[in-house]
Amino acid sequence: MHGFSLELTREFGAIELASALLYAFSAMLWLWTRTGQMWRYAWQVPTILLLMMGREIDLDKQITSVGILKSELYLTATAPPFERIFGLLVLAFLIVTIVRLAIVNGPELLAGLKARALWASSLAIAACLGVLSKSIDGLSRKLDAFGISIDSQTSTAAAVTEEIMELGIPIMALISIISSIRSGGSASIVGAGSVGASQQRRA
């Protein structure tokens, strides 16, 4: 059982691969069910899903000699200059995507939560899973800093729980997208509402 758990939670293991595939499928489903106008307005939605897919398979650690998200890439001479420039461009794009997601889609997410819409609730659950999974990531290492040690079985259980929580994030994203399709695409957080509203105002 211990060996099976390790197989599930290893790098590029079954759960990690499933999570990456679900992110990719969610992005493709969003693009497939939205119009070209929607793509221009809410490109940040599938973009963040694809970025999360890349993070899930540790793409940020593979395209440069030092991980793109590590300060070592920018503050030391470990990596060549062109990698540092590339890393800064990627970070800039990531920041723009997140800021746009917050500004454009954030208000209607709050409205959706207020209305208890399934698409909004699914995204809220995904966010909670993200926070919880991050809190137990490397639990043994974090507890060591406080002089607390845990046995290998508990550490493995925490790792499995973390991976399952991370798998839940793209599942919730997929439920959110499907829910928006079934409700006629009324949610801008998954790429619809604000465009429709602006069209109505112009009419």
SS (H, E, C) 81-116: HHHHHHHHHHHHHHHHHHHHHHHHHHHHHHHHHHCC
**CA-closest candidate to residue 16, choices 57, 50, 54:** 57
pLDDT at 46: 95
Residue count of the chain: 203
Rounded CA gap, 64 and 84, in Å? 9
User: Phi then psi for 38, rounded to 5 degrees?
Assistant: -65, -35
pLDDT at 197: 41
pLDDT at 194: 39
pLDDT at 12: 64
SS3 146: coil
Domain ranges of the chain: 2-192
> Could you list the pLDDT tens digit for every one of the 203 residues in the chain?
455 455 555 666 778 889 999 999 999 999 998 888 888 888 999 999 999 999 888 888 888 888 888 888 888 888 888 999 999 999 999 999 999 999 999 998 999 899 999 999 999 999 999 999 988 887 778 888 778 888 778 877 888 888 899 999 999 999 999 988 866 554 545 544 433 443 443 33
What is the pTM (predicted TM-score) of this model? Answer: 0.81
Question: How open is the CA angle 7-11-17, to the nearest 5 degrees?
Answer: 85
* Angle, helix 2-9 to helix 152-182, in steps of 10 degrees: 50
